[in-house]
Amino acid sequence: MEISLQQNVTLSEPCACLVLACHEKGRLPANAKKIDELSDGFLSRFLAHGDFTAEPGQCQLLYAVPGLAAERLLLVGVGAGEKLAEGKLQKAARALGQTVARAQLTNLHLALADVAVAHRSSAAATELWLRGILDAQYRFDQHKEPAKHPRHSLEKINVLVHEKLAAEAEAEMQQALSSAIAISRASDWARDLANQPGNICTPSWLAEQATQMAQARGIETEILGPTEMEELGMHLLLGVAQGSRQEPRLIVLHYRGGAADAAPIVLVGKGLTFDAGGISLKPADKMDEMKYDMCGGAAALAAIQAAADLALPLNVTAIVPASENLPDGQATKPGDIHRSMAGLTVEIINTDAEGRLILADALSYAKRFNPDVVIDMATLTGACIIALGHQTAAVLGNHEGLVMELLHAGRSSQDRAWELPLFEEYQEQLKSPFADLSNVGGRPAGTITAACFLSRFTEEYRWAHLDIAGVAWQSGEHKGATGRPVPLLVHFLRQRAKAD
């Protein structure tokens, strides 16, 4: 995929497809007015029919427009307001991407810089337009027979601006283009990893994929197996894995783009490559989707890939504890007690609350890197879906500034999160009569008590937790991984890079 910025261009040049915005009630932005003039009023007459209302999310592809050298004209509705709201921009960008994908367009001239977006620079808006287009190009069909008529993929996007940009504005626009490409590439890779079935995506396979990605970018790699975990005392991670024939792995990657003495940002991602619940077996309905329980790990790996692709001046470490959680004669039983790497003992009340167990040992391992901050991401609780649905991730943490940074990154990337409280009173629900703590705190405030459990292993550094159970994949006709929260993480890293 090639994306280029073209300045001082006119809309009369030949191209395969020219993309323009239209407001409701026939009101034309600047670029659409120029096309209306070139076509001797064709666009105004077309809009007067009322079939295309230009509501956000509505698109219309036109062919052989008189007076226009472009082979196709693709209209995108942006609503009635003077400035497009951020949520409506995301809706319009998603619809535009789906239209481009359905039509199998291979080359676009994107003339959307004349659309004013509330609280967004032109460059920031362009990045979201591009991400909507690129996201819709994703396909996961490697396990299907080749199609009789292969799809045509988008090959090139030309982002058009009519004036010569000032140096600072041009640099900002180029950064937006680079960011859109890096986020798209990273999100697609995270989706590829997560969409693989559990018989392929095992802990060792995931470690191999991470190693290959890292080697291609000069990222340092360390893979720990059961022997190293035993030496470190990672009995929570080993306890989850002991019911599986697949050995666990701890995947550790180091991207060193910052100063040698700069403390790293550590990303910890849950890597349950398949979660049947262990002895506390899950219901059969939709259990196939438990291959997605490693979406947090995939996001951590994808985010460090994007950091390298963008050459961010930061040190970033990714840690992914990878395991399966299956029922077996050797599997952990409800009531068993395991000792964590941190030394705390945990009574396993529910073996299906395993994600917090493997994360606990990984979060303890993170301490050795003297991190600036630690962020973990996990498809951790069904309670998060009840609280926030499938639109928003939850964020909780022990450092207000870090939580605010993540919330801001979610807004700027349109990969949003919402803060839930982490009050000390919730820790009472994790008390155990036989161990230092229990791995579950009952039904009330399930997302919060899961984060409270993790907080017991993060007391020595600044930490935040992203519960992505509701946003990491979608079910139904369009079942598949979404790649979230990769956009949020990449924007967080970019913000940190600018601050440094």
- Would 170 be classed as within a structural domain? no
Same domain, 293 and 211: yes
CA distances from 153 to 110, 172, 191, 226, 369 (A): 17, 27, 18, 43, 42
Task: Decide: 335 and 440 in contact? Cβ < 8 Å.
Answer: no
* CATH code for the domain of 82: 3.40.220.10
Same domain, 350 and 474: yes
How many other β-carbons are positioned within 10 Å of the β-carbon of residue 190? 31
- Establish whether 282 is a catalytic residue: yes
Q: What are the residue ranges of helices labelled H in 196-325?
A: 203-217, 226-232, 235-241, 295-309
Same domain, 135 and 61: yes
Domain carrying residue 385 = 187-499
Same domain, 155 and 211: no
Q: Chain centroid to CA 71: how far? A: 35
Same domain, 343 and 197: yes
- Would 250 be classed as within a structural domain? yes
- Would 204 be classed as within a structural domain? yes
- Would 350 be classed as within a structural domain? yes
What are phi and psi for residue 400, nearest 5 degrees? -60, -40
Measured between alpha carbons, how far is 215 from 167 in angstroms, rounded to an integer?
35
- Would 392 be classed as within a structural domain? yes
* CATH code for the domain of 402: 3.40.630.10
- Would 180 be classed as within a structural domain? no
- Would 172 be classed as within a structural domain? no
Same domain, 473 and 372: yes
Per-residue tens of pLDDT for the chain, all 500 residues: 899 999 988 898 899 999 999 999 888 999 999 999 999 999 999 999 999 999 998 999 999 999 999 999 999 999 988 889 988 999 999 999 999 999 999 999 999 999 999 999 999 999 999 999 999 999 999 999 988 888 899 999 999 998 899 999 999 999 999 999 999 999 999 999 999 999 999 999 999 999 999 999 999 999 999 999 999 999 999 999 999 999 999 999 999 999 999 999 999 999 999 999 999 999 999 999 999 999 999 999 999 999 999 999 999 999 999 999 999 999 999 999 999 999 999 999 999 999 999 999 999 999 999 999 999 999 999 999 999 999 999 999 999 999 999 999 999 999 999 999 999 999 999 999 999 999 999 999 999 999 999 999 999 999 999 999 999 999 998 999 999 999 999 999 999 999 87
pLDDT at 150: 86
Same domain, 135 and 221: no
Same domain, 197 and 145: no
Domain count, the chain: 2
Same domain, 46 and 9: yes
pLDDT at 180: 97
- Establish whether 443 is a catalytic residue: no
Q: In what order do the strands lie in the sheet with 345-347?
A: 337-339, 345-347, 437-438
Catalytic residue among 356, 456, 484, 494, which? 356
**End-of-domain residue from the set 113, 146, 162:** 162
Same domain, 270 and 359: yes
Same domain, 107 and 204: no
Q: What are the residue ranges of helices labelled H in 12-121?
A: 30-38, 42-48, 86-103
Measured between alpha carbons, how far is 51 from 65 in angstroms, rounded to an integer?
17
Catalytic residue among 27, 33, 185, 282, which? 282
Same domain, 124 and 205: no
- Would 255 be classed as within a structural domain? yes
